[in-house]
Structure 1
Amino acid sequence: MQRLPWTTGRWTHSPVDASQDGDDLVVTCAEGSDAWRVTSYGFVHDSEHALVAPLPQDTAMEVCFTADYDQQFDQAGLFVVAAEDCWAKAGVEFADGHPQVGAVVTNPTSDWSVAPVDPWHGQKVRVRVSRSGDALTVRAGLDGEPLALVRVAPFPPDADAEAGPLACAPSRAGLSVRFHDWSIGPADASLH
Protein backbone atom coordinates (compact mmCIF):
# COMPACT_ATOMS: atom_id res chain seq x y z
CA MET A 1 0.00 0.00 0.00
CA GLN A 2 1.20 3.52 -0.82
CA ARG A 3 0.49 6.23 1.71
CA LEU A 4 -1.48 9.22 0.42
CA PRO A 5 -0.74 12.71 1.74
CA TRP A 6 -3.56 14.50 3.54
CA THR A 7 -3.39 17.19 0.83
CA THR A 8 -4.59 14.66 -1.77
CA GLY A 9 -8.18 14.77 -2.94
CA ARG A 10 -11.16 16.95 -2.13
CA TRP A 11 -13.74 17.20 0.63
CA THR A 12 -17.28 16.10 -0.21
CA HIS A 13 -18.40 18.59 2.47
CA SER A 14 -15.88 20.66 4.40
CA PRO A 15 -15.57 19.83 8.10
CA VAL A 16 -15.48 22.47 10.83
CA ASP A 17 -11.71 21.92 10.92
CA ALA A 18 -9.16 19.57 9.42
CA SER A 19 -5.59 20.04 10.55
CA GLN A 20 -2.44 18.00 10.62
CA ASP A 21 -0.96 17.05 13.98
CA GLY A 22 2.37 15.47 13.19
CA ASP A 23 1.60 12.71 10.69
CA ASP A 24 -2.08 12.54 11.71
CA LEU A 25 -5.11 14.39 10.38
CA VAL A 26 -7.62 15.57 12.99
CA VAL A 27 -11.11 16.18 11.58
CA THR A 28 -13.72 18.12 13.57
CA CYS A 29 -17.25 17.41 12.38
CA ALA A 30 -20.21 19.72 11.99
CA GLU A 31 -23.23 18.85 14.10
CA GLY A 32 -25.74 16.96 11.96
CA SER A 33 -23.19 15.70 9.42
CA ASP A 34 -24.14 12.31 7.97
CA ALA A 35 -24.78 10.26 4.84
CA TRP A 36 -28.07 8.37 4.43
CA ARG A 37 -30.80 8.07 1.79
CA VAL A 38 -34.48 7.46 2.56
CA THR A 39 -34.74 3.83 3.81
CA SER A 40 -36.81 3.44 6.99
CA TYR A 41 -36.21 7.04 8.16
CA GLY A 42 -37.63 8.86 5.13
CA PHE A 43 -34.90 11.53 5.00
CA VAL A 44 -31.82 12.23 2.93
CA HIS A 45 -28.63 13.29 4.71
CA ASP A 46 -25.92 14.46 2.34
CA SER A 47 -23.51 16.33 4.61
CA GLU A 48 -20.75 13.81 5.42
CA HIS A 49 -17.11 14.90 5.73
CA ALA A 50 -15.10 12.69 3.37
CA LEU A 51 -11.68 13.43 1.90
CA VAL A 52 -11.81 11.57 -1.41
CA ALA A 53 -9.42 10.72 -4.24
CA PRO A 54 -9.87 8.44 -7.29
CA LEU A 55 -10.52 4.74 -6.62
CA PRO A 56 -10.13 2.99 -9.99
CA GLN A 57 -11.04 -0.61 -10.68
CA ASP A 58 -8.76 -3.24 -9.11
CA THR A 59 -7.52 -1.00 -6.30
CA ALA A 60 -7.99 -0.93 -2.55
CA MET A 61 -8.02 1.99 -0.17
CA GLU A 62 -7.36 1.92 3.58
CA VAL A 63 -7.71 4.32 6.46
CA CYS A 64 -6.57 3.97 10.06
CA PHE A 65 -8.21 6.04 12.80
CA THR A 66 -8.79 5.99 16.54
CA ALA A 67 -12.35 4.96 17.43
CA ASP A 68 -12.48 7.22 20.49
CA TYR A 69 -16.06 8.48 20.51
CA ASP A 70 -19.18 7.54 22.44
CA GLN A 71 -22.19 9.56 21.35
CA GLN A 72 -25.11 8.15 19.36
CA PHE A 73 -24.20 7.79 15.65
CA ASP A 74 -20.65 9.22 15.96
CA GLN A 75 -18.77 7.56 13.10
CA ALA A 76 -15.49 7.31 11.22
CA GLY A 77 -14.17 5.13 8.46
CA LEU A 78 -13.96 5.13 4.69
CA PHE A 79 -16.36 6.60 2.11
CA VAL A 80 -16.67 5.45 -1.52
CA VAL A 81 -18.73 7.63 -3.85
CA ALA A 82 -19.76 7.46 -7.51
CA ALA A 83 -22.86 9.73 -7.39
CA GLU A 84 -25.14 11.39 -4.83
CA ASP A 85 -27.29 8.23 -4.83
CA CYS A 86 -24.49 5.68 -5.34
CA TRP A 87 -22.02 5.41 -2.47
CA ALA A 88 -20.90 3.27 0.45
CA LYS A 89 -19.43 3.98 3.86
CA ALA A 90 -17.68 1.51 6.12
CA GLY A 91 -16.16 1.88 9.56
CA VAL A 92 -17.09 2.12 13.21
CA GLU A 93 -20.29 3.87 14.26
CA PHE A 94 -21.35 4.29 17.88
CA ALA A 95 -24.97 3.13 18.07
CA ASP A 96 -27.21 2.01 20.91
CA GLY A 97 -24.44 2.17 23.49
CA HIS A 98 -21.76 0.27 21.57
CA PRO A 99 -19.12 0.82 18.91
CA GLN A 100 -20.34 -1.13 15.87
CA VAL A 101 -18.39 -2.18 12.80
CA GLY A 102 -20.50 -1.96 9.71
CA ALA A 103 -21.31 -0.56 6.33
CA VAL A 104 -24.00 1.46 4.63
CA VAL A 105 -24.47 0.76 0.92
CA THR A 106 -26.62 3.15 -1.13
CA ASN A 107 -27.84 2.66 -4.71
CA PRO A 108 -30.23 4.53 -4.73
CA THR A 109 -31.51 3.96 -1.17
CA SER A 110 -29.46 3.06 1.90
CA ASP A 111 -29.12 -0.15 3.87
CA TRP A 112 -27.09 -0.68 7.04
CA SER A 113 -25.32 -3.68 8.53
CA VAL A 114 -23.62 -3.58 11.95
CA ALA A 115 -22.05 -5.80 14.59
CA PRO A 116 -20.84 -4.71 18.06
CA VAL A 117 -17.07 -4.42 18.59
CA ASP A 118 -16.76 -3.20 22.19
CA PRO A 119 -13.02 -4.04 22.45
CA TRP A 120 -12.35 -1.58 19.60
CA HIS A 121 -13.44 1.44 21.63
CA GLY A 122 -10.55 3.88 21.98
CA GLN A 123 -8.31 1.72 19.76
CA LYS A 124 -6.71 2.26 16.36
CA VAL A 125 -8.94 0.66 13.72
CA ARG A 126 -8.06 -0.07 10.10
CA VAL A 127 -10.72 -0.24 7.37
CA ARG A 128 -10.01 -1.42 3.82
CA VAL A 129 -12.29 -1.33 0.80
CA SER A 130 -11.24 -3.23 -2.34
CA ARG A 131 -12.89 -2.47 -5.67
CA SER A 132 -12.92 -5.25 -8.23
CA GLY A 133 -15.42 -5.98 -11.01
CA ASP A 134 -18.95 -5.26 -9.82
CA ALA A 135 -18.19 -5.35 -6.09
CA LEU A 136 -16.71 -3.60 -3.10
CA THR A 137 -15.14 -5.86 -0.48
CA VAL A 138 -14.99 -4.33 3.01
CA ARG A 139 -12.56 -5.53 5.68
CA ALA A 140 -11.82 -4.09 9.12
CA GLY A 141 -9.91 -4.83 12.30
CA LEU A 142 -7.65 -3.43 14.96
CA ASP A 143 -4.53 -1.88 13.46
CA GLY A 144 -1.73 -4.42 13.23
CA GLU A 145 -4.06 -7.43 13.33
CA PRO A 146 -5.53 -9.36 10.39
CA LEU A 147 -8.52 -7.63 8.83
CA ALA A 148 -11.81 -9.57 8.85
CA LEU A 149 -14.40 -9.60 6.09
CA VAL A 150 -17.27 -7.25 6.92
CA ARG A 151 -19.21 -7.16 3.68
CA VAL A 152 -19.25 -7.77 -0.06
CA ALA A 153 -21.51 -5.23 -1.76
CA PRO A 154 -22.54 -4.52 -5.35
CA PHE A 155 -21.01 -1.45 -6.98
CA PRO A 156 -21.25 -0.30 -10.60
CA PRO A 157 -18.19 -1.62 -12.47
CA ASP A 158 -18.04 1.30 -14.92
CA ALA A 159 -18.52 4.12 -12.37
CA ASP A 160 -15.91 6.80 -11.80
CA ALA A 161 -15.44 6.42 -8.04
CA GLU A 162 -13.57 8.30 -5.34
CA ALA A 163 -12.82 7.19 -1.80
CA GLY A 164 -11.15 8.28 1.42
CA PRO A 165 -11.43 9.03 5.13
CA LEU A 166 -14.92 9.75 6.51
CA ALA A 167 -16.13 11.32 9.75
CA CYS A 168 -19.68 12.32 10.76
CA ALA A 169 -21.48 13.54 13.86
CA PRO A 170 -25.21 13.22 13.23
CA SER A 171 -26.36 14.02 16.77
CA ARG A 172 -23.87 16.44 18.34
CA ALA A 173 -21.27 19.16 17.92
CA GLY A 174 -17.61 18.83 18.80
CA LEU A 175 -16.67 15.38 17.53
CA SER A 176 -13.01 15.23 16.46
CA VAL A 177 -11.59 12.10 14.84
CA ARG A 178 -7.87 11.37 14.53
CA PHE A 179 -6.81 9.64 11.29
CA HIS A 180 -3.35 8.06 11.31
CA ASP A 181 -2.92 7.11 7.68
CA TRP A 182 -4.61 6.87 4.29
CA SER A 183 -3.27 4.55 1.61
CA ILE A 184 -4.00 2.99 -1.77
CA GLY A 185 -2.79 -0.18 -3.45
CA PRO A 186 -3.90 -3.28 -5.36
CA ALA A 187 -7.31 -4.82 -4.67
CA ASP A 188 -7.44 -7.93 -2.51
CA ALA A 189 -6.89 -11.08 -4.57
CA SER A 190 -9.63 -13.12 -2.88
CA LEU A 191 -12.60 -12.79 -0.55
CA HIS A 192 -11.29 -15.14 2.15
Structure 2
Amino acid sequence: MEDNRTIPWQQGTWTNHPSSIKEQDGSLTVEAQAQSDYWQKTYYGFERSSGHALLDVWPLDRAIEVGFLTDSFVEKYDQAGLMMYLDNQNWIKAGVEMNDGVPHIGAVVTKGHSDWSLFPVPDWAGRQITIRASYFEGAIIVRAKADEGAWQTIRVSEFPKQDNQTLQAGPFICSPERACFTTTFVKWASCEKEDDLHAEIPK
Protein backbone atom coordinates (compact mmCIF):
# COMPACT_ATOMS: atom_id res chain seq x y z
CA MET A 1 0.00 0.00 0.00
CA GLU A 2 1.24 3.46 -0.84
CA ASP A 3 2.70 5.52 2.00
CA ASN A 4 0.52 8.60 1.48
CA ARG A 5 0.83 11.33 4.13
CA THR A 6 -1.62 14.22 4.12
CA ILE A 7 0.00 17.64 4.60
CA PRO A 8 -2.17 19.88 6.81
CA TRP A 9 -3.21 23.11 5.11
CA GLN A 10 -2.04 25.01 8.20
CA GLN A 11 1.48 23.66 7.71
CA GLY A 12 2.03 25.74 4.58
CA THR A 13 2.90 29.41 4.16
CA TRP A 14 1.30 31.58 1.44
CA THR A 15 3.59 33.47 -0.91
CA ASN A 16 0.77 36.03 -1.24
CA HIS A 17 -2.46 35.85 0.73
CA PRO A 18 -5.55 35.08 -1.39
CA SER A 19 -8.79 37.08 -1.23
CA SER A 20 -10.40 34.39 0.92
CA ILE A 21 -9.76 30.92 2.31
CA LYS A 22 -12.28 28.45 3.70
CA GLU A 23 -11.39 25.06 5.14
CA GLN A 24 -14.22 22.53 5.37
CA ASP A 25 -14.32 18.73 5.64
CA GLY A 26 -10.63 18.45 4.83
CA SER A 27 -10.78 20.59 1.67
CA LEU A 28 -9.55 24.15 1.14
CA THR A 29 -11.55 26.58 -1.00
CA VAL A 30 -9.47 29.54 -2.16
CA GLU A 31 -10.45 32.73 -3.98
CA ALA A 32 -7.62 34.38 -5.93
CA GLN A 33 -6.90 38.07 -6.03
CA ALA A 34 -7.66 39.72 -9.38
CA GLN A 35 -4.69 39.99 -11.76
CA SER A 36 -2.67 37.48 -9.72
CA ASP A 37 -0.04 35.54 -11.66
CA TYR A 38 3.44 34.02 -11.80
CA TRP A 39 5.49 34.82 -14.91
CA GLN A 40 8.97 36.04 -15.80
CA LYS A 41 9.72 38.08 -18.92
CA THR A 42 9.39 35.65 -21.85
CA TYR A 43 7.25 36.87 -24.79
CA TYR A 44 4.98 39.12 -22.73
CA GLY A 45 7.84 41.10 -21.19
CA PHE A 46 6.29 41.50 -17.75
CA GLU A 47 7.34 40.02 -14.42
CA ARG A 48 4.66 38.74 -12.04
CA SER A 49 5.02 37.20 -8.58
CA SER A 50 1.54 38.02 -7.29
CA GLY A 51 0.01 34.52 -7.49
CA HIS A 52 -0.94 32.46 -4.47
CA ALA A 53 1.10 29.38 -3.55
CA LEU A 54 0.79 27.51 -0.26
CA LEU A 55 4.27 26.12 0.29
CA ASP A 56 6.09 23.77 2.62
CA VAL A 57 9.52 22.14 2.44
CA TRP A 58 9.60 19.35 -0.15
CA PRO A 59 11.49 16.26 1.08
CA LEU A 60 13.02 15.16 -2.21
CA ASP A 61 12.94 11.45 -1.35
CA ARG A 62 9.13 11.78 -1.58
CA ALA A 63 6.69 12.70 -4.34
CA ILE A 64 4.24 15.57 -3.85
CA GLU A 65 0.60 15.45 -4.98
CA VAL A 66 -2.04 18.20 -5.11
CA GLY A 67 -5.68 17.54 -6.07
CA PHE A 68 -8.28 20.15 -6.98
CA LEU A 69 -11.68 20.62 -8.63
CA THR A 70 -12.13 22.31 -12.01
CA ASP A 71 -15.86 23.07 -12.11
CA SER A 72 -15.17 26.81 -11.64
CA PHE A 73 -12.65 27.12 -14.50
CA VAL A 74 -14.53 29.21 -17.07
CA GLU A 75 -12.55 32.36 -17.93
CA LYS A 76 -9.29 32.88 -19.81
CA TYR A 77 -6.21 31.97 -17.75
CA ASP A 78 -8.13 30.66 -14.71
CA GLN A 79 -5.52 28.28 -13.29
CA ALA A 80 -4.56 26.09 -10.33
CA GLY A 81 -2.31 23.17 -9.56
CA LEU A 82 1.06 22.40 -7.98
CA MET A 83 3.87 24.91 -7.45
CA MET A 84 7.50 23.79 -7.01
CA TYR A 85 9.47 26.75 -5.72
CA LEU A 86 13.12 27.58 -5.12
CA ASP A 87 12.94 31.39 -5.27
CA ASN A 88 11.09 34.08 -7.27
CA GLN A 89 13.31 33.46 -10.29
CA ASN A 90 13.33 29.66 -10.18
CA TRP A 91 10.07 27.72 -9.96
CA ILE A 92 7.68 25.41 -11.80
CA LYS A 93 3.90 25.66 -11.77
CA ALA A 94 1.95 22.75 -13.24
CA GLY A 95 -1.79 22.34 -13.49
CA VAL A 96 -4.92 23.18 -15.44
CA GLU A 97 -5.38 26.54 -17.16
CA MET A 98 -8.22 27.84 -19.31
CA ASN A 99 -7.04 28.91 -22.75
CA ASP A 100 -9.21 29.66 -25.82
CA GLY A 101 -12.26 28.43 -23.92
CA VAL A 102 -10.84 24.95 -23.26
CA PRO A 103 -9.04 23.56 -20.19
CA HIS A 104 -5.40 22.78 -20.88
CA ILE A 105 -2.93 20.76 -18.85
CA GLY A 106 0.52 22.29 -18.80
CA ALA A 107 3.52 23.63 -16.96
CA VAL A 108 5.52 26.84 -16.74
CA VAL A 109 9.20 26.23 -16.01
CA THR A 110 10.99 29.37 -14.88
CA LYS A 111 14.75 29.78 -14.50
CA GLY A 112 15.03 33.54 -14.87
CA HIS A 113 12.71 33.37 -17.90
CA SER A 114 9.45 31.44 -18.15
CA ASP A 115 8.94 28.53 -20.58
CA TRP A 116 5.27 27.54 -21.11
CA SER A 117 4.08 24.18 -22.45
CA LEU A 118 0.45 23.03 -22.61
CA PHE A 119 -2.06 20.86 -24.47
CA PRO A 120 -5.88 20.81 -24.48
CA VAL A 121 -7.82 18.37 -22.29
CA PRO A 122 -11.48 19.28 -22.97
CA ASP A 123 -12.71 16.05 -21.38
CA TRP A 124 -11.09 17.06 -18.08
CA ALA A 125 -13.54 19.95 -17.59
CA GLY A 126 -15.41 19.75 -14.30
CA ARG A 127 -13.36 16.83 -12.97
CA GLN A 128 -10.99 16.35 -10.06
CA ILE A 129 -7.39 16.76 -11.22
CA THR A 130 -4.30 15.52 -9.42
CA ILE A 131 -0.81 16.83 -10.17
CA ARG A 132 2.21 14.82 -9.01
CA ALA A 133 5.89 15.80 -8.94
CA SER A 134 9.01 13.74 -8.22
CA TYR A 135 12.64 14.86 -8.10
CA PHE A 136 15.44 12.77 -9.64
CA GLU A 137 19.08 13.87 -9.77
CA GLY A 138 18.50 17.49 -10.76
CA ALA A 139 15.28 16.92 -12.73
CA ILE A 140 11.61 17.28 -11.85
CA ILE A 141 9.08 14.83 -13.33
CA VAL A 142 5.50 16.14 -13.46
CA ARG A 143 2.49 13.89 -13.99
CA ALA A 144 -1.27 14.50 -13.98
CA LYS A 145 -4.54 12.56 -13.99
CA ALA A 146 -8.27 13.26 -14.04
CA ASP A 147 -10.35 11.55 -11.33
CA GLU A 148 -9.03 7.97 -10.99
CA GLY A 149 -7.75 7.78 -14.57
CA ALA A 150 -4.27 6.90 -15.73
CA TRP A 151 -1.29 9.11 -14.95
CA GLN A 152 0.12 11.11 -17.87
CA THR A 153 3.64 12.51 -17.89
CA ILE A 154 3.36 16.19 -18.79
CA ARG A 155 6.87 17.54 -18.22
CA VAL A 156 10.44 16.44 -17.55
CA SER A 157 12.54 19.47 -16.69
CA GLU A 158 16.08 20.07 -15.54
CA PHE A 159 15.87 21.84 -12.20
CA PRO A 160 19.27 21.81 -10.48
CA LYS A 161 19.76 23.21 -7.00
CA GLN A 162 22.69 23.77 -4.67
CA ASP A 163 23.12 21.64 -1.55
CA ASN A 164 22.26 24.60 0.67
CA GLN A 165 19.02 25.40 -1.20
CA THR A 166 15.61 24.13 -0.10
CA LEU A 167 12.85 23.30 -2.57
CA GLN A 168 9.29 23.95 -1.48
CA ALA A 169 6.05 22.70 -3.01
CA GLY A 170 2.30 22.98 -2.59
CA PRO A 171 -0.99 24.10 -4.19
CA PHE A 172 -1.23 27.30 -6.20
CA ILE A 173 -3.99 29.40 -7.74
CA CYS A 174 -3.78 32.42 -10.09
CA SER A 175 -6.35 34.63 -11.79
CA PRO A 176 -4.57 36.90 -14.29
CA GLU A 177 -7.73 38.20 -15.97
CA ARG A 178 -10.51 38.56 -13.39
CA ALA A 179 -11.70 38.76 -9.79
CA CYS A 180 -13.71 36.12 -7.94
CA PHE A 181 -12.01 33.01 -9.37
CA THR A 182 -12.32 30.27 -6.76
CA THR A 183 -11.27 26.64 -6.66
CA THR A 184 -11.31 23.88 -4.07
CA PHE A 185 -8.19 21.88 -3.22
CA VAL A 186 -9.02 18.40 -2.00
CA LYS A 187 -5.55 16.90 -1.55
CA TRP A 188 -2.04 17.91 -0.53
CA ALA A 189 0.11 14.93 0.27
CA SER A 190 3.65 13.59 0.49
CA CYS A 191 3.70 10.21 -1.25
CA GLU A 192 5.97 7.27 -1.84
CA LYS A 193 8.22 8.13 -4.79
CA GLU A 194 8.38 5.92 -7.88
CA ASP A 195 11.75 4.39 -8.81
CA ASP A 196 12.27 6.27 -12.08
CA LEU A 197 10.53 8.00 -14.98
CA HIS A 198 9.08 4.80 -16.41
CA ALA A 199 8.12 3.10 -13.16
CA GLU A 200 4.51 2.50 -12.23
CA ILE A 201 3.11 4.99 -9.73
CA PRO A 202 2.59 3.35 -6.30
CA LYS A 203 -1.08 2.72 -5.48
TM-score calculated relative to the size of structure 1:
0.97
In 1, the alpha carbon distance for the partners of 2:135 and 2:36 equals: 26
| Partner of residue 26 from structure 1, selected from 25, 29, 45 | 29
| Partner of residue 58 from structure 1, selected from 33, 50, 61 | 61
**Cross-structure match for 1:176:** 182
In 1, the alpha carbon distance for the partners of 2:30 and 2:18 equals: 7
Deviation at 1:57, TM superposition (A): 2.4
Q: Percent identity?
A: 39
Deviation at 1:18, TM superposition (A): 1.2
In 1, the alpha carbon distance for the partners of 2:147 and 2:16 equals: 27
| Partner of residue 75 from structure 2, selected from 71, 77, 87 | 71
**SS at 2:9's partner residue?**
coil
Deviation at 1:2, TM superposition (A): 0.7
Deviation at 1:71, TM superposition (A): 0.4
Give unmatched runs, 5+ long, in structure 1: none
**Cross-structure match for 1:83:** 87
In 2, the alpha carbon distance for the partners of 1:27 and 1:131 equals: 27
**SS at 2:10's partner residue?**
coil
Deviations 1:104-128 (A, max 9, x none): 0000100100000001111000100
Structure number with greater Rg is: 2
Asked whether the equivalents of residues 56 and 131 of structure 1 are also in contact (C-alpha less than 8 Å), the reply is: no
**Cross-structure match for 1:9:** 12
**SS at 1:56's partner residue?**
coil
| Partner of residue 126 from structure 1, selected from 125, 130, 144 | 130
Q: CA RMSD in A?
A: 1.0
**Cross-structure match for 2:201:** none
In 2, the alpha carbon distance for the partners of 1:53 and 1:137 equals: 19
**Cross-structure match for 1:160:** 166
In 1, the alpha carbon distance for the partners of 2:114 and 2:193 equals: 24
Deviation at 1:187, TM superposition (A): 2.8
**SS at 1:7's partner residue?**
helix
Deviation at 1:48, TM superposition (A): 1.0
1:108-127 equivalence runs, <5 A: 108-127=112-131
Are 1:47 and 2:53 matched, yes or no? no
In 1, the alpha carbon distance for the partners of 2:136 and 2:9 equals: 25
In 2, the alpha carbon distance for the partners of 1:58 and 1:180 equals: 23
Of 32-41 and 152-161, more deviation after overlay is shown by 152-161
Asked whether the equivalents of residues 78 and 89 of structure 1 are also in contact (C-alpha less than 8 Å), the reply is: yes
Give unmatched runs, 5+ long, in structure 2: 199-203
Asked whether the equivalents of residues 133 and 157 of structure 1 are also in contact (C-alpha less than 8 Å), the reply is: no
* Corresponding residue pairs, total: 192
Of 152-161 and 77-86, more deviation after overlay is shown by 152-161
| Partner of residue 189 from structure 1, selected from 170, 189, 195 | 195
**Cross-structure match for 2:110:** 106
Asked whether the equivalents of residues 65 and 126 of structure 1 are also in contact (C-alpha less than 8 Å), the reply is: yes
